[in-house]
Structures are given as structure tokens and as C-alpha cells.
């Protein structure tokens, strides 16, 4: 069915209100650009974990062990993401979405730039990988507070009935960041190995300083969410302890949202990290060749996601998300076949199939999570759900796939089974989530009469939607 985002007195904005609509578009665009900067920083580390970190920070291990150690460091960032969700979620629910987003972006830019200045193992010994892990943890904390806040700032500014379109702005930041990070790495990957390993890999990290400054200038121009401003003016006000309230009253929704995010999140890292490592290490393709393939896939994703957003606006985000999951199940064996061919053209087709299916689900998942929780704890709740999924499913994906191939003598079929299990988990969670009804704001929170339904009290003007 069409996107039926309910009328919301906290937003109070209709699709034909030009001034408010302009502000809504500004919030969506600035959220996308700010998210692009944060995810650029995160993806630069992702690419480097496949290409250079095994040699520079874990050289004493075997080649396979070095890759596994590098992917484990990659996962450290995901340990920080739930912490960031709680920390910045509390700040965003208690003191405003905008303030939290500015702080998270500043932290991300600082830590990413610092990674570009790190000494290597040959220079500093064990201190080098220790510092890398510490900075990666801070990266995870920063990005843990970014996504939820950006989604809320766009979604809570959105006109009635258009929330799916405006939250899709934020989802567009991920492929743009992937495109940007790969494009920045690509020319330096053509350097001779000694040049690339000595200084070429550092440049993408150091560029984070300029990108962060740009993102901050844009973000500072956006007004606070109208829903949040209205909430702070009510007698009930903001939640005193958003995490405790979310855990006490919305545990089931948190679990379902995390499960629904399994393959939309893990799929991105499986295509961008494991396939990159497999193609360069096991199949012997040059770095720049495989990066070019990923660059083209990211460009295709940038084009597909807006089309998906319009389809979700027309037919409903839950239906479009289910379609993406079904296509992912088809793409898994196709990608397996493509990797077995050891042909760069077939590998390109396999990556494109996985990226397309992942993009469809990823585009609309933000709208589904946004509508699962009330305004007063929404920043904490959707951030925690998404970042728990990132920790459990996304951050472990590269290391899990590397472990499976190592234990099975470089066979790929266990990877296909692993992806299938994640896809089925997302499908089951989505099915339950779209039929689950959380209690919404009461009359004191929304300024509207409450309607009593089975399972909770729902505002007459903020009924849950699917």
C-alpha cells in the first residue's frame, strides 16, 4: 500500500507548505551530506583493512592470519557502535537531535584523521595495532550516534505522508560515501607497493579533516526537529532515561528492528570487504581493478536507491523491503557461481546483484525503524537497534566469512549458507515488525486525544504505520 505516514501534530507540516517543505528538504539534504562524511570515514577504514592493514599493522602473522587480524580490528569499531547509540541517543533525546549530530561528526573526523597519522608496526611495534584498535573504537562510537540522529532529523521534518522519501535521503549517504571512499583510494592503489604502503594509503584518511569541516558547516545550518521542539514544550517533556524507558517498554520492537537490519547491514560489508579481499588475495586481481568494480557497484546503488524510495512511497516500505530480501536470496547462489568462475566480468555481475538487492532493503529500512518508536525515546531506540545489528551481523561478517573459508579449505558454499541465514532472519523479523504495534505518545506528549487499542495507548494522530 502507499506510504501512509500519519498526520502528526508534532510535525504539523503539510506537503504543500512551501516554507516548511524547504526546511524539510534542507534537513534531508544536510543529513545525507553529513552521513556521507561519517560513512566515508568508516568505509576508508573498511577498504584499508582489506588492502594495507594486514601488512602494516599485523606483519608477523601468516597471510590469512594477517587478514583475519585486520578484519578483527575492523570489528572493534562495531563494539563502539552500541555505546555510541546509547551515548548520543541519550544526548539527542534529552538535549536535541542537532547537538548530538554535530558532536558525533566532530569525533568521527578527528579520529579518522588521526588514523592517517599512525606509525606502523615496523616503527612502533605492538603500540601501532593497539592505537589502531583504540581509534577504530572511537570511530564506532561516533558512527553509532550518527545514523539514528540523521534519520530522525529528516523524518521528523518530513511532510505528512512523505516520511519514507525523506528518510531515504539519509540512506543515500551510504552508497555516496562508498563511492567517494573507493574513488579516493583508487588512484593511490595504482602506486607501486612500496609507495602505496608507505604514504599512499594515508591520504584518504587525512582528507577526512576537510570533509568533516564541510559537513559541519552544512549541519550547523539546519533547524532542530519540529517534533522534538514540540515535545519539549509539553508537560511530559523529554524522557529522563531514554535507554531505560526503551528497554522497559519496547524490548520486542528493539529485537525485531535489529533482526530486520541483519542483511541490509551485513550485505554491504560482504560485498565491499570480503569480495574485495577474496578477489585480490585468492584470485590475484590487481587492487585497482577490484576497486573499480566496487566503484561501479556503488554508482549503480546511488541510482537505484532513489527509485526504490519512490516505489516504497507508492507501494509501502514493508512490501518493497520484502521484495529486496527475496531478490537477495536469488543473488546469493548467483554470486557464488560468479566467484567460482574467477572472471572479473562475472565477479562484477555478482557484486552488482548483491548490491542491488541490499540497496532495496537498505533504502526503506529507516522508515520502518522510525515508525516503531515514540518521539521521546526514538533517537536512543532506533540507534541502539541498528547498531546492535551492526555489531552482531555487520561487524562480524568479514571475519566470519574469512573464518568459514579458512576452516573449509577456501570453499565458498558456507558463505552462501551464512548469507541465506541472515536473509531469512531479516525476513522473519520484518514480518513480525510490520504486525507489531508499539504504544505511541499519549495525549500529553502529542497534544492529541489518546485512542486505546490492544497492546497499548496510541495517539489518534500518530497511529503506527507499515
pLDDT on residue 187: 85
pLDDT on residue 10: 40
Mean pLDDT (the chain, rounded): 79
pLDDT on residue 114: 93
Mean pLDDT for 202-231 is 84
Q: Is the pLDDT of residue 465 over 50?
A: no
pLDDT on residue 311: 92
The least confident of 83-97, 229-243, 322-336, 412-426 is: 229-243
Mean pLDDT for 326-340 is 88
Task: Print the SS3 string covering the chain.
Answer: CCCCCCCCCCCCCCCCCHHHHHHHHHHHHHHHHHHHHHHHHHHHHHHHHHHCHHHHHCCCCCHHHHHHHHHHHHHHHHHHHHHHHHHHHHHHHHHCHHHHHHHHHHHHHHHHHHHCCCCCHHHHCCHHHHHHHHHHHHHHHHHHCHHHHHHHHHHCCCCCCCHHHHHHHHHHHHHHHHHHHHHHHHHHHCCCHHHHHHHHCHHHHHCHHHHHHHHHHHHCCCCCCHHHHHHHCCCCCCCCCHHHHHHHHCHHHHHHHHHHCHHHHHHHHHHHHHHHHHHHHHCCCCHHHHHHHHHHHHHHHHHHHHHHHHHHHHHCHHHHHHHHHHHHHHHHHHHHHHHHHCCHHHHHHHHHHHHHHHHHHHHHHHHHHHCCCCHHHHHHHHHHHHHHHHHHHHCCHHHHHHHHHHHCCCCCHHHHHHHHHHHHHHHHHHHHHCCCCCCCCCHHHHCCCEEEECCEEEECCCCCCC
The least confident of 14-18, 29-33, 114-118, 378-382 is: 14-18
pLDDT on residue 60: 65
How far from the centroid of its chain's Cα atoms is residue 203's Cα? 24
pLDDT on residue 442: 35
Mean pLDDT for 239-258 is 88
Q: Is the pLDDT of residue 16 over 60?
A: no
pTM above 0.95, yes or no: no
424 Cβ neighbours under 8 A, 6+ residues apart: none
Mean pLDDT for 245-271 is 86
Q: What is the assigned CATH class of domain 18-459?
A: mainly alpha
pLDDT on residue 77: 76
Mean pLDDT for 457-464 is 35
Q: Is the pLDDT of residue 448 over 60?
A: no
Higher pLDDT pick, 236 / 342:
342
pLDDT on residue 444: 33
Q: Is the pLDDT of residue 8 over 70?
A: no
Q: How confident is the model at residue 3 (pLDDT cuts 50, 70, 90)?
A: very low
Mean pLDDT for 400-411 is 79
The least confident of 39-43, 201-205, 305-309, 317-321 is: 39-43
Give the tens place of pLDDT for each residue, 171-200. Answer: 888 888 888 887 888 788 788 888 888 888
pLDDT on residue 320: 92
Mean pLDDT for 59-76 is 65
pLDDT on residue 169: 84
Q: Is the pLDDT of residue 70 over 70?
A: no
User: What are the Cα distances from residue 180, in Å, to 13, 102, 211, 437?
Assistant: 34, 21, 11, 39
The least confident of 151-155, 199-203, 258-262, 274-278 is: 274-278
pLDDT on residue 330: 93
Amino acid at each position: 500500500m502507499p506510504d501512509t505516514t500519519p498526520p502528526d501534530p508534532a510535525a504539523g507540516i503539510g506537503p504543500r507548505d512551501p516554507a516548511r517543505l524547504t526546511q524539510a528538504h534542507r534537513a534531508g539534504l544536510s543529513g545525507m551530506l553529513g552521513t556521507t562524511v561519517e560513512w566515508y570515514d568508516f568505509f576508508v577504514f573498511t577498504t584499508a583493512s582489506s588492502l594495507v592493514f594486514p601488512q602494516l599493522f599485523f606483519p608477523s602473522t601468516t597471510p590469512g592470519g594477517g587478514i583475519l587480524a585486520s578484519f578483527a580490528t575492523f570489528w572493534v569499531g562495531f563494539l563502539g557502535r552500541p555505546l555510541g547509540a546509547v551515548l548520543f541517543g541519550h544526548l539527542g533525546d534529552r538535549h536535541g537531535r542537532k547537538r548530538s549530530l554535530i558532536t558525533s561528526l566532530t569525533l568521527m573526523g578527528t579520529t579518522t584523521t588521526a588514523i592517517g597519522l599512525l606509525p606502523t608496526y615496523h616503527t612502533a611495534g605492538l603500540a601501532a595495532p593497539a592505537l589502531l584498535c583504540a581509534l577504530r573504537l572511537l570511530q564506532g562510537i561516533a558512527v553509532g550516534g550518527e545514523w539514528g540522529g540523521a534519520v530522525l532529523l529528516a523524518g521528523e521534518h518530513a511532510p505528512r505522508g512523505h516520511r519514507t522519501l525523506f528518510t531515504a535521503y539519509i540512506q543515500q549517504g551510504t552508497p555516496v560515501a562508498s563511492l567517494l571512499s573507493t574513488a579516493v583510494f583508487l588512484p593511490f592503489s595504482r602506486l607501486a607497493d612500496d609507495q602505496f604502503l608507505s604514504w599512499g594509503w594515508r591520504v584518504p584518511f587525512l582528507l577526512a579533516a576537510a570533509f568533516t569541516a564541510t559537513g559541519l558547516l552544512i549541519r550547523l545550518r539546519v533547524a532542530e526537529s519540529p517534533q522534538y521542539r514540540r515535545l519539549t514544550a509539553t508537560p511530559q517533556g523529554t524522557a529522563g532515561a531514554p535507554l531505560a524507558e526503551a528497554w522497559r517498554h519496547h524490548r520486542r520492537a528493539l529485537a525485531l528492528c535489529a533482526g530486520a537490519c541483519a542483511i541490509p547491514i551485513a550485505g554491504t560489508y560482504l560485498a565491499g570487504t570480503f569480495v574485495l579481499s577474496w578477489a585480490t588475495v585468492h584470485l590475484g586481481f590487481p587492487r585497482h581493478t577490484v576497486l573499480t568494480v566496487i566503484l561501479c557497484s556503488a554508482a549503480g546503488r546511488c541510482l537505484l536507491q532513489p527509485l526504490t524510495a519512490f516505489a516504497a512511497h507508492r507501494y509501502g516500505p514493508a512490501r518493497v523491503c520484502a521484495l529486496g530480501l527475496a531478490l537477495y536470496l536469488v543473488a546469493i547462489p548467483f554470486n557464488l557461481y560468479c566467484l567460482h568462475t574467477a572472471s572479473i566480468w562475472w565477479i562484477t555481475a555478482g557484486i552488482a546483484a548483491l548490491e542491488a538487492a541490499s540497496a532495496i532493503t537498505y533504502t526503506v529500512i529507516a522508515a520502518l525503524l522510525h515508525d516503531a518508536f515514540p518521539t521521546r525515546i526514538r533517537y536512543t531506540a532506533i540507534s541502539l537497534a541498528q547498531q546492535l545489528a551492526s555489531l552482531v551481523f555487520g561487524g562480524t561478517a568479514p571475519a566470519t566469512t574469512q573464518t568459514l573459508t579458512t576452516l573449509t579449505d577456501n570453499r565458498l558454499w558456507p558463505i552462501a549458507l551464512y548469507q541465506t541465514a541472515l536473509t531469512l532472519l531479516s525476513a522473519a523479523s520484518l514480518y513480525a515488525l510490520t504486525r507489531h504495534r508499539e504504544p505511541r505518545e499519549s495525549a500529553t506528549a502529542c497534544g492529541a486525544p489518546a485512542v486505546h487499542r490492544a497492546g497499548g495507548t496510541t495517539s489518534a494522530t500518530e497511529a503506527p504505520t507499515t
